[in-house]
Structure 1
Amino acid sequence: MRRMMLIKGILILCLTIGCNKQLDIDSTKTVGDKNFWQSYKDTRAALLGIYGLMRAALSDNGCFWMYGELRNGDFTAVQRPDLDAVIKGKLNAAFPLFEGLTNWRRFYAVINAANIFLERVGDVKQLDPKYSDQNMRVDIAQIRFLRAFSYFWLTTVWGDVPFVLNSHDGSFENKPQEDKEKILAFVESEMLAAAADLPFNYSSNDPQQLGDYYNEPSSRWLSVLARKLSVYGVLAHVAAWRGDYRSVYAYSKFVLDNKDRSGMYYEPDTYWISAPNGMFQGHKTNQLYGLNFEFDNQEGTFSGHFEEFTLAEPLVRKSLPDIYVTRDSITSIFSTPLDTRFSLDPVTGKPKYPDRWFANFDSDIPIFCKIKVIQKDGSDPSFRLYSSCLIYTRLEEMALLNAEALAVIGNRTDAINSLNSVRNLRKVPLFTDNGSEDLLDAIFLERRKEMMGEGHRWFDLVRYHKIKRNNPGFMKLISEGGIYWPVSSVVLRQNPRLKQNPYWN
């Protein structure tokens, strides 16, 4: 029933999305549109449908990892030249994969569906007495967040993009790109407004959402919907991308100070991060913000998961992974002897934790196995149906972003404390002021280790080099707009008012 409701929501939204040439989405109208937006059941279906569109936008072609993990990252392609091109930053290469990765249509599908929701939700309020003011307020807050989150992705991937805030009933004029800073200011403003109306948890008698949300218990919504802390966690990333580190500190501190109110805690055991029934299984309170693929709701998929690229024998029946981290890189990155993510026994030379971040370390091609949710619990290697959650941020990541902000604004003592809160969890020697390590280098190295495979590496590199400004080649890439992706040739042909990102001309 839940799966059918989600499918219904997505289908209706896809049919009612009014779209234009500049967004590269076919314009369609649905005959059923008049019969929709009648009751709270319709708003529920539409709400979940937009979450589904957001999930599809980030998982299509594995773009969450193509944009955030592979480019200039730690992974090496085994036999796929298209993935090798992503890793090496050759983003205008002529591979079918790039036709999807350079096309922003899936993010505008989220935006247009959100615009329709915001324009029509008032109809339901007028027609259905069961649809309360509070329910509508919480729904609108989530939709505003999802629309802003989609725009955040658009600006971090492409820079300047078209800015559309209404559905126009399916009729649009071609629009040029708007300045990315204008859009990012909107994103931050919208997310702050959304956060103000969202609860810390759903169906938990939070004053901002009393009773059972859509008549479902709290267990149904656990880490499925955006909560107040979810939005503040994403806001910290928005501010970091803008270089506003005082706001990064404020937003991340709010998350860390209020984690108990959402039942969140630091995960001390890397087993429960990497276990098939651990952090990435979904419905886990410590997923600060993520998008679930629930196996029990028949949402598992064969593609759109990092496991599709990283797993091989003996975890799944596949002779070689598509990408891997070399042994030299592993031992260089994870160089301390007690690190519970990966470390080598000094006597035997064997990995102490062969099932955490890496498996098959002794082979020429180690397996990155941190994320391995096969079916529901990883028990059947013969059937590669994955249901891992796409996690955007979690508490440990937020603590390290907090440390980054504190270091940049000059609060060295608290920055060290935030860094050491994660180092201590992973049995890594604590950072000390009288050591030889550079504080910012140490923070970004810890992020590299803790968040490997979670879609942060490229964005971390951009922020790091903007702060340090000691790599002329990377600074040239930033100044010339090379950190952004090229715009799809299909999109450019359909709208003559759009321009290719200059770096890719």
Structure 2
Amino acid sequence: MKNIKYFVGAVCLALSLNSCSDFLNEEPVSEIPAGDMWQTARDAKAGINEIYGLLRSTLRENYFYWGEFRSDNVAPGAPVMADQARVINNLMSTDEKCAKWTTLYQMINQANLAIKYVPNISMPDVADRNDYLGQAYALRALAYFYAIRVWGDVPLFTEPTEKYSEAIYKERTDKNYILEHVILPDLKKAESLINRNKNYERKRISICGVWAIMADAYMWAKEYNLADQTIDKMATIASKKGGRFVDFEPNIATWHTMFTEELTNKPSDDTPENDEYNSREFIFLVHFNMDEVGTNGYSYMYQWFSGSGNRAAVMSDKFMSIFDEKDMKGDLRKDYTVKNYQNGNELRKYMAGDISNSLNKTCEVAYPIYRYTDMMLLQAEARAHQGKWGEALDLVKTVRDRAGLNTLTENDFASEEEVVNYILRERQVELAGEGRRWFDLLRTEKWKEVMKPINGMEQDGNELFPIHYSHILENPKIVQNTYYGNTNN
């Protein structure tokens, strides 16, 4: 479904193709209307799969650009990796490839098409149709959630672009409006539609995946009670294997193997009722399998973090200093997370041993978008904000027990901020390399105090990425983020 004409309008917006209107005004030799491509259950499945494919394309590199490289977790790696170094050193310009929203808006448009056409498709089981529709709503919410965290205000499209019109040229919509009136309502719709009796996928969005995105969004909205309640719901979903569908993994050795074995070289499986993962930690992940994406679509996980010759980043001295703090000494996660190799502390969380020479061994991995320990620590933070320090620290204790560490008690803290900072440090170590740290600094408004001593980041607006100059050239209604001025380069 990638190459039909109804999709080109959104591509024009996202890619900012020059002379797009001239191209679209020409009559094609053959045209398949969008409605004709959404007729059967097979069409619906293919259409939803396309959204996941676009998410994978979006996050192949941007998982690190958007979620890790601007944080205090990393420092520049090899000098040849200049693109990544500019992001890490706070020297971005408006021509950075990570400043493009191309595939993200393609993803949004494909979700809009599914939301429009799937309800009219006849299927033997209406629950299957609802599940496809629920995934479309959840994926649209996730796409916009990334967009507002990266660029702030962004253009809003809730209807599909099926042919060229002036309507594709939109101004940016306030990020808080999008959060309140699009992201959270979309997730509520997904919650009511996802099939809880059949969808046990972790490579697709299950009901627990919906709740994970929703809880995260509530935390950004500072709706701490709602985030707390949403995370609690996950305990109600049972696995076909017995026990809970998502749960905490208490053993540190198994914690390690869930990254190195559960995520690596995983065979393709498109059967929603089959949960092919042994670990219940994972809620939603983006998987890279050579059979599915080919040798040009693999993960950048190892290429960017391994080997002194071309590694884009190493774990920073500031990150490594955490393990020297009194209550962090002996952290069992350290040796599983980082290895000093060729004069740099490399992220090794996703590697069972040393670097492999086999492309298949080193690049067939998955990016965890959400896992259960992430949710536990978010819930701890939510409870701290509600004055429930003891309950918050109980959750932290569970995580630190696995790491072989003691946990402070309520009496060790003098303020809510101290408790929250304690939890955020735990999130920083536990979720290192999982695309979460920079977003945590943004969400808690701590990016200035943390990053100013490192790369001088302190001016309002600097927390946002620039909008790629090509988007602004094509659409005069788009105004650049203020920190980056009005230049087009």
TMscore range, shorter length: 0.7 to 0.9
Aligned partner of 1:426 in structure 2 is 403
Verify the 8 A CA contact 2:184 2:217 in the aligned structure 1. Answer: yes
Q: Which amino acid aligns with 2:141?
A: A
Which runs of structure 2 are paired with 1:139-178 in the superposition (5 Å)? Answer: 139-173=132-166, 174-178=169-173
Is the Cα contact below 8 Å between 1:420 and 1:430 reproduced in 2? yes
Q: CA deviation at 1:72?
A: 2.9
Look up the match of 2:67. Answer: 68
What secondary structure, in the 3-state scheme, does the structure 2 residue paired with 1:222 have? coil
* Pair 1:406-2:383 in alignment: yes
SS of corresponding position for 2:380: helix
Secondary structure at the counterpart of residue 263 of structure 1 = coil
Q: Is the 8 A contact 2:203 2:286 kept in 1?
A: yes
1:382-461 matched pairs, under 5 angstroms:
382-383=358-359, 386-435=363-412, 438-461=418-441
What does residue range 197-212 of structure 1 map to in structure 2 within 5 Å? 197-200=193-196, 206=197, 209=198
Q: Percent identity?
A: 20
Query: Given that residues 279 and 286 in structure 1 are in contact (C-alpha distance below 8 angstroms), is that contact kept between their aligned partners in structure 2?
Result: no
- Measure the CA separation in 1 of the matches of 2:237 and 2:402: 20
Q: For 1:37, give the aligned amino acid.
A: W
Uncovered stretches (5+) of structure 2, i.e. residues with no partner:
267-275
Computed over aligned residues only, the root mean square deviation of the Cα atoms, in angstroms, reads 3.1
Instruction: Indicate if the aligned counterparts of 1:175 and 1:497 stay in contact, CA closer than 8 A.
Output: yes
> 1:75, CA displacement in angstroms?
1.2
| Aligned residue in 2 for 1:340 | 332
- In structure 1, C-alpha distance between the alignment counterparts of 2:300 and 2:188, rounded to whole Å: 30
How do 1:52-451 residues align onto structure 2 when only pairs under 5 Å count? Answer: 52-59=53-60, 62-78=61-77, 79=79, 80-92=81-93, 98=96, 100-125=97-122, 130-173=123-166, 174-185=169-180, 186-200=182-196, 206=197, 209=198, 222-256=201-235, 258=237, 262-275=244-257, 277-281=260-264, 283-284=276-277, 285-295=280-290, 297=292, 303-312=298-307, 319=309, 321-326=311-316, 329-333=319-323, 335=325, 336-342=328-334, 353=335, 356-360=336-340, 363-372=342-351, 380-383=356-359, 386-435=363-412, 438-451=418-431
Question: Kindly tell me: are residues 17 and 382 of structure 1, through their superposed partners in 2, closer, same or farther at Cα, counting changes over 3 Å?
Answer: same
State the SS of the aligned residue for 2:463.
coil
How far 1:399 sits from its partner (Å)?
0.5
Q: Is 1:404–1:443's contact at 8 Å kept on the other side of the alignment? A: yes
Cα distance, 1:136 vs structure 2: 1.1
3-state SS of paired residue (2:51): helix
Q: Which segment is superposed worse, 428-437 or 185-194? A: 428-437
Report if aligned partners of 1:294, 1:300 keep a CA contact under 8 Å in 2. no
Unpaired stretches in structure 1, ≥5 consecutive residues: 1-8, 201-205, 210-217, 313-317, 343-352
Show the counterpart of 1:45.
Answer: 46
Greater mean alpha carbon deviation, residues 395-404 or residues 33-42: 33-42
Offset of residue 194 of structure 1: 0.3
State the distance in 2 between where 1:169 and 1:436 align.
56
Q: How far off its partner does 1:253 sit?
A: 2.4
Distance 1:240 1:116 in 2: 29
Tell me the residue number matched to 1:350. Answer: none
TM-score normalised according to structure 1 size: 0.79
Q: Does the CA contact (< 8 Å) of 1:72 and 1:87 recur in 2? A: yes
* Inter-CA distance 442–371: structure 2 relative to 1 (3 Å threshold): same
Q: Structure 1 residues 47, 444: closer, same or farther in 2, change over 3 A? A: same
Contact map agreement 1:338 1:428 (CA 8 A) in 2: yes
Distance 1:469 1:257 in 2: 39
Aligned AA for 2:171? P
Distance 1:378 1:279 in 2: 18
Larger RCO: 1 or 2 (CA < 8 Å, sep 6+): 2
Q: Is the 8 A contact 1:273 1:370 kept in 2?
A: no
TM-score (norm 2): 0.82
Deviations 1:150-185 (A, max 9, x none): 111111111111111112422232111111111111
Take 2:72 and 2:318, find their aligned partners in 1: how far apart are those partners?
A: 14
Question: 1:19–1:25: 8 Å Cα contact kept in structure 2?
Answer: no
Amino acid of the structure 2 residue aligned with 1:364:
N
Matched position secondary structure for 1:465: coil
Q: State the aligned residue count.
A: 446
Write out per-residue CA displacement over residues 447-482 of structure 1, whole angstroms, 9 at most, x where no aligned residue. Answer: 01000000111111123336x9978969x9788322
Hey, what does 1:16 align to over in structure 2?
7
SS of match in other structure, 1:31: coil
Q: Do the aligned partners of 1:310 and 1:368 also contact (CA within 8 Å) in 2?
A: yes
In 2, the alpha carbon distance for the partners of 1:262 and 1:458 equals 30
Offset at residue 299 of structure 1 (A): 5.5
Quote how far apart the aligned CAs of 1:291 are. 1.4
Give yes or no for contact 2:5–2:162 (8 Å, CA) kept in 1. Answer: no
Amino acid at match of 1:101: C
1: CA distance between counterparts of 2:152 and 2:420?
A: 26
Contact 2:340 2:346 survives alignment (8 Å):
yes
- Alpha-carbon distance, 1:490 to partner: 0.4
Deviates more, 1:439-448 or 1:37-46: 37-46
Equivalent position amino acid for 1:104 in 2? W
Deviation string, structure 1 residues 138-157 (Cα, Å, up to 9, x no partner): 11110011111111111111
Pairwise mapping of residues 482-501 of structure 1 onto structure 2 (< 5 A)?
A: 482-501=462-481
Distance 1:91 1:303, change over 3 A: farther
SS at match of 2:263: helix
- Cα distance change of structure 1 residues 253 and 151 upon mapping to structure 2, 3 Å threshold: same
State how far apart, in whole Å, the 1-side matches of 2:5 and 2:238 are.
36
The separation in 1 between residues aligned to 2:84 and 2:400, in whole angstroms, is: 32
Letter of the aligned partner of 2:194 in structure 1? L
Per the TM alignment, residue 87 of structure 1 is displaced from its structure 2 partner at its CA by 1.2
Q: Which amino acid aligns with 1:227?
A: S
SS at match of 1:391: strand
Q: Post-superposition shift, 1:388?
A: 1.1
User: Are the structure 2 counterparts of residues 121 and 172 from structure 1 closer, same or farther at C-alpha, using a change threshold of 3 Å?
Assistant: same
